[in-house]
Every structure is written in structure tokens, then in C-alpha cells.
Amino acid sequence: MKLKDKFGIKGYVKLVLKDKNGKIKQVVEGHNTITALLDAHVADQMSDSGDGAIGYMGAGTGSGQTSASTGLATSSANVALDSTTQGTAGADNDVVYVATFPAGTATAALTEVGLFVADNNTTLMTYDDFDVINKGAADSLVATWTISFGAS
């Protein structure tokens, strides 16, 4: 019997836009781009390089970034992550990141999101662009990002 290598990093993001009363207005889901920075970051973390962990999510109004990109095309706001958890048994190669863009933050016609190490627009780890989410001033946007390591 031949052994099969499992290699790769895959990401999936779910965005939930809610009105001021918590009612869901829109849901957007999709697979996304893993950047070259994330590939290097994983190796850095495995070698205990002292690099910081992923800690922020950004939203913006641009599109078209690639695996070579280091930031959003047009950043609107970055927020600190609400939580970072490892998947449970059977999905323990997953890391789940959750962030909330509260009322008054990232109020715009949003078309892109990304995960970052630092609170800036220069350490893009994963990226997704999508059809517009019109986030009003009273709306909140909850983003849940699942990164799978070693996915086949």
C-alpha cells in the first residue's frame, strides 16, 4: 500500500451581516486565497522564530489581490480577532478565526477581507473578495475564517 502525502493550506470564510437588532441581512461564504506570506509564516511558527500569531482581520472596498499580495487592495478597517481556536477531533488540522466589525466600523460597500498578523495592511495571510456587502453605520459584520492545514 502506498502512502499518500496530504499537503496544502486551504481557507474558507463566512461573513454574516446583521442589522442593529441582530437580524441577519446577508451571508457570504467562499474559499479564498492563501498568500505566500502565510506559507512563510507557518514555517516561521514551526521553527519557533518568535513571529507573532495572526491577530487581526481587515475589510476593504477593493478586489483582485493574489497570493503575492501583502495587503488589501483598499483597506477600510482592521479589527482584533474575537477568538482563535483549533478544530476539534476529526478537524484538529483546522484553525478557526472569528472577528466582528461592530457598528460604526468598516461602514462601506465592502468587497474584500483578509487575515493579518499585525494591525496594519502589510501582513496579509489570507484573502477573499466577493460581491458587495453594504455595511451601514448601525450594522455589524461577523467573519468566521477556517484555515485547514494538510487538507487533501
Please determine, for residue 137, whether its predicted confidence score (pLDDT) is greater than 70: yes
Sign of torsion, CA 53 68 76 137? Answer: negative
Please determine, for residue 152, whether its predicted confidence score (pLDDT) is greater than 50: no
Nearest CA to 28 among 64, 65, 59?
A: 59
Residue 55 grid coordinates: 491577530
Please determine, for residue 36, whether its predicted confidence score (pLDDT) is greater than 50: yes
Please determine, for residue 100, whether its predicted confidence score (pLDDT) is greater than 90: yes
Give the count of beta carbons closer than 10 Å to the beta carbon of residue 59.
Answer: 25
Q: What is the structure's pLDDT at 40?
A: 74
Question: How much is the average pLDDT of 33-51?
Answer: 74
List, in sequence order, every residue forming a beta bridge with 100; answer none if it has no partner. 142
Strand ranges in the chain using DSSP code E only, listed in sequence order:
9-18, 24-31, 33-34, 56-60, 75-80, 83-86, 94-101, 108-116, 124-135, 140-149
Give the whole-angstrom CA distance, residue 19 versus residue 80.
Answer: 21
Banded model confidence at residue 60, pLDDT cuts 50, 70, 90: very high
Please determine, for residue 88, whether its predicted confidence score (pLDDT) is greater than 90: no
Question: How much is the average pLDDT of 113-141?
Answer: 94
Please determine, for residue 58, whether its predicted confidence score (pLDDT) is greater than 90: yes
- Maximum Cα interatomic distance, the chain, rounded to a whole number of Å: 58
Who has greater pLDDT, 143 or 44? 143
Per-chain mean pLDDT for the chain? 88
Banded model confidence at residue 2, pLDDT cuts 50, 70, 90: low
